[in-house]
Amino acid sequence: MIHSRNRRLRVNDSLRSMVRECTLTTNDFVMPIFVMEGENKQEAIPSMPGIFRRSIDLTVKECKELFSLGVKAVNLYMKVSEDLKDNTGKESWNKNGLMQNTIRAIKDAVPEMVVMPDVALDPYSIYGHDGIIENGKIINDATNDALARMSVSHAEAGADIVAPSDMMDGRVQVIREALEESGFTDVGILSYAAKYASSFYGPFRSALDSAPKDNMEIPKDKKTYQMDFHNSREALNEVFKDIDEGADIIMIKPGLPYLDIVSKVREAIDLPIAVYNVSGEYAMVKAAAQNGWLDNDKTIIESLTCFKRAGADMIFTYFAKEAAILLNK
């Protein structure tokens, strides 16, 4: 006779919901947003169905809707005009730049929205790299100084948390010191501590035109600074260093193919963990759903719940708005 039957607690949805180990809510989401110059402009991103580049006025409108749905944080990316790009990234700390104006507009319209601007040079670089290039190489320390200036300008504009995604060594400490010296002691740092050199970023890079340029004199990819996807122990090394340097939240990117890293880091640290459900993951689900191979709604909720189960506290996802609508139902 069988005495222990695990199926007893799966008999109906009420029982299943009572014994669930993790629950997905709109509080878990951060919505990445693409911003472009102009007014009343919206451009579809073909590789990411349902995602758009928007001018500041339409971005503010979108943020109001997101907040009404329960999504309380946005992550900002800029589509920078070609004539503003160079090898220094100086446009990134322009007090009246697109990013800075966007931060101010969102905070004025939705003060309680948590605004997390991306901190990286690739949208501002003529080379499409996250760092300044000298003699064909990414220069780490000079890039850190540029990232610090960018972060301070974001804080001046009203950012709540800066999110360096570049993977330069030591940049969290340089940014933390710059923020402290400028009086922004309450501005947090969400560090992309374990960001892998991944093929899953393709749609994102097309959205911002931020892929490395085809130039024989510069690195052809980002593998000299982003992590090797073969490695997991290295991720803990990166995470511990960023925590020592002053990171408040740790990011792991990409998401679904890297749930082992999320789980391993969760076991090792007590700080909040963010995970990025990246553009390639989004595009694959959308493509499969459009072809009738997957149930769009069920796959979204299952995928996002997996991040929580693995140990993530917050999820950067292009599904944020769609998932919020589903959860609110």
In DSSP terms, 54 is beta-bridged to: 35, 42
Q: Looking at 85, 107, 222, 253, which residue is catalytic?
A: 253
Tokens representing residue 61 in the block: 């409108």
Q: What HEC string does 217-250 produce?
A: CCCCCCCCCCECCCCCHHHHHHHHHHHHHCCCEE
Active site includes 213? Answer: no
* CA torsion angle 75 113 50 117 (round to 10): -20
- The answer to whether 129 and 168 have CB atoms below 8 angstroms apart is no
Q: CA geometry: angle at 314 spanning 312 and 315, to 5°?
A: 95
* Residue 88 one-letter amino acid: T
Q: Looking at 85, 107, 195, 308, which residue is catalytic?
A: 195
CA distance 103 to 45: 22
Q: How far is CA 266 from CA 16, 91, 113, 260, 262, in A?
A: 25, 36, 26, 10, 6
CA distance 251 to 73: 15
Q: Which helix (H) or strand (E) holds 134?
A: strand 132-134
- The answer to whether 138 and 130 have CB atoms below 8 angstroms apart is yes
DSSP code of 42?
E
Active site includes 195? Answer: yes
**Residue listed under structure tokens 């995604």:** 165
Cite the active site residues.
195, 253
